[in-house]
Structure 1
Amino acid sequence: MGRLRRTARWALRIVGVVVTLACVVGSSRFLWPQPGIDEQPGSTERQLAFVRDALDGDADFAAQNQFPEGHFFLNALYGLSWVQAARTDPDLREQALRESRWALARLESADGRAVFSPALRPAYGVFWAGWTNWLRGAILSLDAGDPAEVQRFAAHSEEIAQAFTASETPFLQAYHGQAWPVDSTVAVASLRLHDRLFGERFGAVTTRWLASARAHLDPATGLLPHEVAPDGTQLDGARATSQTMILRFLPELDADFARNQYQLFRAQFLSYPGGFGPALREYPRGVDKAGDVDSGPLVAGISLSATVVGLGAARVNGDHELAAAIGSEGELLGLPVDLPGSKRYAFGAVPIGDAFVVWSSTARLLTTEHPVGETDLRWWWRVPWVVVFVVIAAAPVVGILAAARRRHRSAPADR
């Protein structure tokens, strides 16, 4: 019995040391300064290396089983992240061009178009057309030396512009009978990118779209709605899942409109559940609903996916404080595994999540400069997290000391 007790005590001590060390490592990651909104994490290349390995292992097909655009998004975000990384670090340009062109080819493959309808206008729907066009334009922002690609970008942009011109609503369909304003926002941003790179051509379409979008705001929040009917009638009000995406692209279109929308979003969706945070609610304050296929599971009303994408939205809207806070929380709660050749989150179990992380952490504008934000957070937002670290880290030590003290007190009686 004595040997078993000693073994048990040593096992508990080892567990205590591991827990304490984990808290030290976690707190150091959490408190480590995050890159500014015009910088990117030093681990960007390692993150992209993991995503590429996952794609080579058919992670995009696995993601397709999780949600309808899984295959598309994993490839699109991989390509866009490389372009963003190269825009910040020109030394990555050649590798970025090679990898982003590879990703674009996968979007335009039969597998990339499989779930979309060629009968829609633009062909394959505004989701497929808009994101594909944005990626093609992003690649051309690095290298516009291929006349055939420049022509393809112009032709696809013209097709998108004609679809908006012919529509009575600013929100085109992504699937038959289904439309999400975020998809149209991306598509119109691709038209702005075309004009930024190759001269004014679609300015009137963009201006008309912005005016119509302002006339179709969600009356409850003043933000663009989440889902609408084909005729533009609102079906679902503003939600963080789509707002964080919308706010990634609005600064490319109209600085004043983007600034107003971002402030409204921040005021209604930023939350500190239980004193922790900051994080983003899926629904505005006062609205509590369950998660769905768009948001994923909600924790105390918080959308983890929207919070990750919110990092990118904060960066392009000049909100350094929120971007840094979300980045710090990701290094703590995301369970990162940082190796010499790769970095992954959640132990690499969900590669689509890693793609969203690297796309968000490298986010930058392609048609204009980042605005200077004037937002801030609660100055004490780190305190609850640090208190938890201290309590958890100290608990094993306190337990060991208390046990030693009890043994010391009982020692005379044992003799």
Structure 2
Amino acid sequence: MSPPPSAARRAWGWTRLVLAVAVTSCALAGVVRLTVPATAGTSGEPPGVRRQLAFLREALDAGAGDEAQALFPEGYFFLHALYGLSWVELGMREPAGERSRALREARWALSRLDSPAGRAPFSPGLTPPYGVFYRGWTNWLRGGALSLEPAGRRDPAEVRRFAEDSAAIGAAFDASASPYLAAYPGQAWPVDSTVAVASLRLHDAILPARFGGTVERWLREVRLRLDPRTGLLPHRADPGPGGEPAEVARGSSQSMIQRFLVDVDPAFAGQQYARFRELYVATPLGLGPAVREYPEGVDGPADVDSGPLPLGVSLSATVVTLGAAQAHSDAPLASALAGYGELAGLPVDTPWTKRYAFGLLPIGDAFLAWAKTARPWVARPSPAPPASVSWWWRTPLLMLLTALAAVPWLPALRRRRLAVRG
């Protein structure tokens, strides 16, 4: 037996009211997320990052590393490495006597990388062993963990390991005619060599310097092998002795290169960052800044590095560029990217954890936490570049959200207006 028409109308009315309240609440929450600062520059602690790391540790303990490995070749490695590096970044912001937790978590992550599971995707027959990707990132994390302690309190075994691994990396660059070492057999990506060279700079900042000549030679050789279309380091290089560019510069690797290059050579990095920002930072549909995977005028396929490319935009490159912007003191762009992420990333907050995209892809949370905490480790903060994002970038999004908040109530307002006229 169907309910009376009046009861059905009342039920439908309550349903519409609940839906209207829900839509309006979501839109207003979007306004708040878009306007509340989501970064703290290079000195303060970014809001919510500790809760992100709490979520990530729970996810890692539950096997998220193995799940990430099933998605792409370095999933297990990256998830642990970025977790550890984010803790190093937070530790650097704390007084020297209050870094015990940051140091403990960074060492835990490092132990996962320095294990059969961490090394599994990489070849021990490369030079240096396991390839420049594995050796560069682990060396960077190891040096970061050491930098959290005063020199007199560092574990001698860890210091010795950092020095030995740095020497292996330096020797590999010295013996190579190409500045781009292999990460996998027959495959070389310049971003991986950039991370490794930055780790040599870090070595010389916290231990007696010995790699200045290696780094300067690397920079000279890189300048001879830039991508001819963009003037940037290429995405992929010929693995042979020539090391010639094999693929146009792409946003997914450039966003990382710009994060690390500032610690290798700030002046060269500033030039590269300006060019990157000019060619890759865009405002699709006028709705906030984002980062293209390919430069304007170049189309290319999506892959595991870029992720899907709606309107040519790489979500992974956009997230990591937040860190690059912070490393280059580009506060307007960093703030805009962080604010846009708070809106589009669908964060779920609790008093104890914070996760984005409902926590479905912890690797995305790891990249975002790492990006939000970015700052130079070796170089002094550079002067802020000219702003490329105006103060009113939020206006179109705020107008859209305001309209979305109002739309559910328009029929009721129209009915009330007609009733008054009647």
Per the TM superposition, whether the score is higher than 0.5 is yes
Structure 2 counterparts to residues 75-86 of structure 1, below 5 A:
75-86=80-91
Counterpart code for 1:28 = V
Contact between 1:37 and 1:316, CA under 8 Å: does it hold in 2?
no
Which residue number corresponds to residue 10 of structure 2? 6
In the TM superposition, what is the alpha-carbon distance from 1:195 to its structure 2 partner?
A: 0.4
Structure 1 pair 391–22 and aligned structure 2 pair: CA distance change class (3 A): same
Aligned residue for 2:246, secondary structure, equals: strand
Q: Which letter does structure 2 place at the counterpart of 1:140?
A: L
Secondary structure (helix, strand or coil) at the match of 2:239 reads coil
Distance 1:172 1:14 in 2: 59
| Correspondence for 2:200 | 191
List runs of 5+ in structure 2 lacking aligned partners.
Answer: none
Amino acid at match of 2:312: G
Does the residue aligned with 1:300 lie in a helix, a strand or coil?
Answer: helix
Q: Is the 8 A contact 1:13 1:400 kept in 2?
A: no
Paired residues of 1:185 and 1:249 also in contact (CA < 8 A): yes
| 1:306 has 2:317 as partner | yes
Q: Distance in 2 between matches of 1:10 and 1:391?
A: 22
Q: Structure 1 residues 315, 189: CA separation in 2 closer, same or farther (over 3 Å shift)?
A: same
Name 1:43's counterpart in structure 2: 48
What does residue 252 of structure 1 align with?
A: 263
TM score, norm. by length of structure 1:
0.96
RMSD of equivalent CA atoms:
1.3
* 1:132-147 superposed matches below 5 A: 132-143=138-149, 144=151, 145-147=154-156
- Give the conservation status (yes or no) of the 8 Å contact 1:63–1:71: yes
> More deviation in 203-212 or 1-10?
1-10
Q: How does 1:136-175 map to 2 (within 5 A)?
A: 136-143=142-149, 144=151, 145-175=154-184
Give the aligned partner of residue 362 of structure 2.
351
Alignment TM-score, normalising by the size of structure 2: 0.95
Q: Give the superposition deviation at 1:37.
A: 1.9
Q: Where does residue 402 of structure 2 map in the other structure?
A: 390
Tell me which moved more, 279-288 or 32-41: 32-41
Contact kept in structure 1, 2:188 and 2:238, CA below 8 Å: yes
User: Do the aligned partners of residues 7 and 356 (structure 1) sit closer, same or farther apart at CA in structure 2, a change above 3 Å counting?
Assistant: same
Q: 1:41 to 1:92 in 2, by over 3 A?
A: farther
Report deviation, 1:5. 1.5
User: What letter matches 1:17 in structure 2?
Assistant: V
Instruction: Name structure 1 gaps, 5 residues minimum.
Output: 411-415
Equivalent in 101, 126, 131 of residue 95 of structure 1: 101
Q: From 258, 262, 283, give the equivalent of 2:294.
A: 283
Aligned residue for 1:235, secondary structure, equals strand
State the alpha-carbon separation in 2 of the partners of residues 207 and 104 from structure 1. Answer: 29
Find 1:318's aligned residue among 324, 329, 333: 329
Q: Which moved more, 1:294-303 or 1:88-97?
A: 88-97
Structure 1 Cα separation of the partners of residues 411 and 258 of structure 2: 49
Aligned: 1:127 with 2:133:
yes
- For these two proteins, the number of residue pairs brought into alignment is 410
Tell me if 1:112 matches 2:118: yes
**Matching of residue 294 in structure 1 with residue 305 in structure 2:** yes
Aligned partner of 1:17 in structure 2 is 21
How much identity, in percent, do the aligned residues show?
Answer: 53
Tell me the equivalent position of 1:337: 348
Tell me the distance in 1 between the aligned counterparts of 2:416 and 2:114: 67
Question: Residue 405 of structure 1: CA displacement?
Answer: 4.3
| Stretch deviating more after TM superposition (285-294 or 303-312) | 285-294
Residues 3 and 406 of structure 1: CA distance in aligned 2, closer, same or farther (over 3 Å):
farther
Look up the equivalent residue of 2:37 and give its one-letter code. P
* Inter-partner Cα distance in structure 1 for 2:246 and 2:59: 36
- Preserved contact between residue 36 and residue 320 of structure 1 (Cα < 8 Å): no
**Aligned mate of 1:380, from 389, 392, 417:** 392
Q: Which residue does 1:214 correspond to in 2?
A: 223
